[in-house]
Amino acid sequence: MSESVGGRSGDEGSGHGRSPDPPACIIIGMAGSGKTTLMQQIAASLSSSRTPAYLLNLDPAVLNVPYRANIDIRDSIKYKNVMEQYRLGPNGGILTCLNLFAAQFQTVLELAEKRRNQFKYMFVDTPGQIEVFTWSASGSIITESLATTFPTCVLFVVDTVRCKSPMTFVSNMMYACSILYKTRLPLVVVFNKIDAEKHDFAVSWMEDYAVFDEVLREESTFADSLARSMAITLEELYKNIHSVGVSAITGEGMDDLFAVIRTAAKEYHESYRPDLEARTRKRAEEEQTSAEEAYKAFQQDRDKNESRSTPVDTMWAPEEDDEGEPEDEEDIDEEEHAREEAEKEELLAYVAKLNLEHGAPPK
């Protein structure tokens, strides 16, 4: 696991003052949406503005990372070795690598915390298989751990060109809704590739349902009614997310992206952080209650078992003979009789002795 400080940490940021509490951005998106290329452009833009950044690569299957990663999962976990060792396919290998990495993610956070005053932003590049990260236990562990340490937001990258299709647009927005519900973190929809297709149409669809409905009428497909129903539902989502258009190739819109990230960080402190702390307290209370109930159940079972059992020192055990085996009743009776006879003989002998001492003739 490599660890270094990206950007030019020795220089003062121009236009981007240092912050003791830098925002962390988790970059998520469908395969082909341009996440890694966007990560490269982010690193280049921050470097050109002399703004230090902390970059993490969590994709174990990528061959080449086009930016300088401070933490790279490939340094500690070998994707091909994991596939061979556990006999897994591509997706299973990525998931297992994330599971192994999540187990040591606390160490990653400790490294980042030591340098938190030396960088302005943190960006986390996730695997291209979006479901591997968003719907896995390891992805949840990494996201929640990061969110408890830094003000965190999610950048959901979508392909603007493909979103020209109303159904594809709605599908992406539904996925954005699921990510927002799953992570409960500020969400920024990043319309990438605006150098090929401007994202103005997407903004108008999000702001005005009538415009989107008109486009659906022109499409006239069997899924119109479904898309129309989903679009109505998504109107509430649009009120709770941010959107921005960028080009990972030309760098267009990068200043807008950084501005939106800072806004999302403020929202994190105002709304999401209190909710996160409340959920953390509730989880801790539930765990404490569960532990107390388990201990009470253990005590009850122990007391119940003790009341049913007889103390060892009051239990009767038959006497044992020289061979170590219990004696039967006949042996016990014979021993009792012999002992009684011996006592009688001793008594008679004692009486005879007394008679002799007092001069009485023995009987």
- Distance CA(39)–CA(80), nearest Å, equals 24
pTM assigned to the model: 0.74
Say yes or no to pLDDT of 13 above 50: no
191-223 burial: b if 16+ Cβ within 10 Å, else e? bbbbbebebebbeebbeeeeebbebbeeeeeee
Sheet holding 121-125, edge to edge: 71-72, 53-57, 121-125, 24-29, 152-159, 187-192, 242-245
pLDDT tens per residue across span 49-77: 999 999 999 999 999 999 999 999 999 99
If pLDDT is split at 50, 70 and 90, which confidence band does 14 have? Answer: very low
Pairing of strands 71-72, 53-57: parallel
pLDDT tens per residue across span 205-246: 999 989 998 888 877 666 777 888 888 888 888 988 999 999
**Mean pLDDT on 102-107:** 94
Q: Indicate the range of 89-93, 176-180, 273-277 predicted with least confidence.
A: 273-277
C-alpha angle 78-68-83 in degrees, rounded to nearest 5: 15
